Amino acid sequence: MGEFIAFDIGGTYIKYGLIDNQSHILEQNKVKTPNELEELLTILQNYANLHKRAKGVAISIPGAVSDDGFVYGKSAISYIHGPNMKQLIEQRTNLPVYIENDANCAGYAEMWGGSAKGKKDVIVMAIGTGIGGAIIKEGVIHKGANLHGGEFGFMLLSLDRDIEENTWVRMDSTVSMIKKVAKKKNVPYESLSGEDVFKLAENGDEICIKAVDLFYHKLAIGIFNLQYIYDPEVILLSGGISARADLIHCIYKKLDSVIQSMPNATVRPVIDFCKYRQNANLIGAVYGLKQQFYS
């Protein structure tokens, strides 16, 4: 069938590459995400001009994406919310364009050739700056009535203070963990990374040990809730944190404690890693394009 151009538009970088019909990445690069829409469109156009024989352009993008190409919601890239992004990119590239939410693209990648291949009911979780993901229902991405399917970060884990502060993303994202540590250490938030916190914990730092322990505890509670809300075959983890080899082991330790305290909770969630990790959005966007234009 040929080759496809793919872009993963993120708040910091735009990853882009050429992908073949079997999900192989033939070439790949990245560029810093520009501050203006026109600059973004120029980047996409220039790369498309290098591959005029490509069969289409697949776009992974943050936000709630409508079928006609508008990107609703909010993200770190404010200028993508408002114009018809699909139409603008089609005009600049003269190619068929498919555009989809980044977490849904990660789900598509796992369906195509990853850890969700051959399964019908799966949850894909993206854990990083925020917490989100994709719901695969009967082998199809479930977007929901308002395009908010998979917005797990809005789930409330507590009601004991300001409501917004009780959402999963505010209580348990890696950014949330870093901010808690920075506050207790009285250092600028920007001076720490998630890797720093985990490394300090491993070296015996008490503040970081407690922060990491709470991170896994809240993560386990959220995953427990998702299991009993949807009852998927497997919950797949992606995002920068998925690079930690001990992640699933640590989550299971907390999950088992939760399950033991609830005699009627007999289902132990099955957790695994996404296969494609940092390349999932590029590959999944191409899968979505193939399904729409070449199925």
**pLDDT tier for residue 167 given thresholds of 50, 70 and 90:** confident
**pLDDT tier for residue 174 given thresholds of 50, 70 and 90:** confident
Q: Per-residue DSSP letters for the chain? A: --EEEEEEE-SSEEEEEEEETTS-EEEEEEEEPPSSHHHHHHHHHHHHHH-TT-S-EEEEESSEE-TTSBEES--S-GGGSSSBHHHHHHHHH-S-EEEEEHHHHHHHHHHHHSTTTT-SSEEEEEESSSEEEEEEETTEE---TTS-TT-GGG-B---SS-GGGGBHHHHHSHHHHHHHHHHHHT--GGG--HHHHHHHHHTT-HHHHHHHHHHHHHHHHHHHHHHHHH--SEEEEESGGGG-TTHHHHHHHHHHHHHHT-TT------EEE-SSGGGHHHHHHHHHHHHHH--
Please write down the long-range contacts of 26-32, taking CB distance under 8 Å and 24 or more positions apart: 28/279, 28/282
Range of the domain at 84: 3-107+278-293
Looking at the chain, the whole-number percentage of residues with pLDDT higher than 70 is 97
pLDDT, tens digit, for every residue of 192-246? 988 899 999 999 999 999 999 999 999 999 999 999 999 999 999 987 788 888 9
Tokens of 59: 């776009």
What lies within 8 Å, CB to CB, of 97 at 6+ separation is 56, 57, 58, 59, 69, 86, 89, 90
- What domain count does the chain have? 2
Pairing of strands 140-141, 131-137: antiparallel
Same domain, 54 and 120: no
Tokens of 220: 């386990």
Same domain, 45 and 91: yes
Please state the pTM of the whole predicted model: 0.82
Same domain, 243 and 133: yes
Same domain, 53 and 134: no
* pLDDT reading at 147 higher than 90: no
CA-CA distance, 293 to 285, in Å (whole number)? 12
Cα 79 to its chain centre, rounded Å, is 20
Same domain, 184 and 73: no
Tell me, what's the pLDDT at 190?
87
Which amino acid does the sequence have at 67? D
Tell me, what's the pLDDT at 161?
67
Same domain, 100 and 213: no
Place of tokens 């985990």: 198
Same domain, 127 and 175: yes
- For residue 171, give the nearest of 215, 116, 123 by alpha carbon: 215
Same domain, 204 and 269: yes
